[in-house]
Amino acid sequence: MKTWLITGGAGFIGSALLRTAIEGGHRCIVLDKLTYAGQIQNIKSVINGESAVFIKGDICDSNLVTTLLKEYQVDYIVNLAAETHVDTSISDPGKFIDTNISGTYRLLEAAREYWVNLNPEKKRFFRFLHVSTDEVFGELNDSGIFSETTAYAPRSPYSASKAAADHLVQSWHHTFGLPTIVTLSSNNYGPRQFPEKLIPRMISCAIREANLPVYGQGLNIRDWIYVDDHTRGLNLALEFGKPGASYCFGGKSERKNIDVVNSIAMNLNTLKPRKNGANYKDLISFVEDRPGHDYRYAIDSAKAERDLGFTLVTNFEDGLRKTIMWYLSNAAWLKDIAI
């Protein structure tokens, strides 16, 4: 059993990772500021004060982080605390600088102070895992794929802030010896994702009989990974990852945005037919594209497959249907936080 500090653990990926860790027999301390995307209802059912403890707080609060590390004798730090929505980073980039860059720096410093004072055995197994995104690599044309050796070329305030955080994490390993690992994944989807992201937004709009707003002509391409596949990869990186290394997790499921929206509509036609009998595709509306919208992302998991034993369990069609069914079965959750 290890003790994990999961920052941003009440968010979408964080709450899924929390469940993965608990199922593995570990104890988890969740630190979350509970901004709009961090929802206490995401974790309420598993917080019990023993195997899972919740602390409301900010990773920028160095004193709080230091206290938690010492009080709970943490073995693993997993940093998922971040501002993540590209559109918001365009309209309000300051908060992305504060949390994603300054917050990561303060977390690293608290971790380093804690790590250097650990006994040799505990120090040897300590890990700081920083969860990043394929968006730090920029965009691809119709060919090519991102990997751990791809040069960083962020193109939005969000991806630039994550790239800066990645470089900080890597430099704390190379300069100070802190045993850090960076992971980068393609677009996640699944239960409990805040409805600012494409898939939950389309589901939310559809079940409210609202228009389904698609940027441009919906031709931008993303690779999709089911969130539970991603969190299993994070667990493998903690167990088997090499300090100082980075690992990519992709879903091998590239789709045009319009094809994803059409698939959502097709599933909903069966799972929740419209009262007027019409097709959900009729709700699709094309809206002005966002500034600097990257054309295509795709990511190669070969290193993680080879070095960590990472495999995908859920294909996109099954994962999308499970996701839609979760939102249909959790209307109260969606109603409380819908935007």
Residue 222 has pLDDT above 70, yes or no: yes
The fraction of the chain above a pLDDT of 70, given in percent, is 99
Secondary structure class of 28 (helix, strand, coil): strand
319: Cα within 13 Å, side-chain hemisphere: 23
Single-letter amino acid, residue 44 = K
Secondary structure class of 197 (helix, strand, coil): coil
pLDDT tens for residues 316-327? Answer: 999 999 999 999
**Which whole number is the average pLDDT over 199-220?**
96
Q: At a CB cut-off of 8 Å and minimum separation 6, what does 120 contact?
A: none
pLDDT, averaged across the chain: 96
DSSP state of 55: E
Nearest CA among 224, 215, 219, 194 for reference residue 134: 224
Which one has a higher pLDDT value, 290 or 211? 211
Residue 49: pLDDT band (50, 70, 90) is: confident
CB-CB neighbours of 301 under 10 Å: 25
Per-residue pLDDT, 339 = 54
The residues annotated with a catalytic role in the active site are: 134-135, 158
Residue 147 has pLDDT above 60, yes or no: yes
H-helix or E-strand spanning residue 233: helix 227-240
**pTM of this prediction?**
0.96
**Which whole number is the average pLDDT over 295-312?**
98
**Which whole number is the average pLDDT over 305-315?**
98
Q: What is the dihedral of CA 133, 18, 16, 108, to 10 degrees?
A: -10
**Which whole number is the average pLDDT over 57-83?**
97
Nearest CA among 78, 79, 71 for reference residue 114: 71
Name residue, tokens 């961090």. Answer: 38
Name residue, tokens 């599933």. Answer: 267
Secondary structure class of 226 (helix, strand, coil): strand
**What are the E-state strand segments in 57-185?**
76-79, 127-133, 180-185
pLDDT tens for residues 83-131? Answer: 988 989 999 999 999 999 999 999 999 999 999 999 999 999 999 999 9
Secondary structure class of 215 (helix, strand, coil): strand
Per-residue pLDDT, 337 = 76
Residue 292: pLDDT band (50, 70, 90) is: confident
* CATH superfamily ID and name for 3-194+223-254+296-314: NAD(P)-binding Rossmann-like Domain (3.40.50.720)
The 76-79 sheet, strands edge to edge: 52-56, 27-32, 3-7, 76-79, 127-133, 180-185, 246-249
Q: Are strands 76-79 and 127-133 parallel, antiparallel or unpaired?
A: parallel
CA–CA dist 162, 237 (Å, integer): 19
**Which whole number is the average pLDDT over 185-206?**
96
Residue 338: pLDDT band (50, 70, 90) is: low
**Which whole number is the average pLDDT over 272-291?**
96
Domain ranges of the chain: 3-194+223-254+296-314
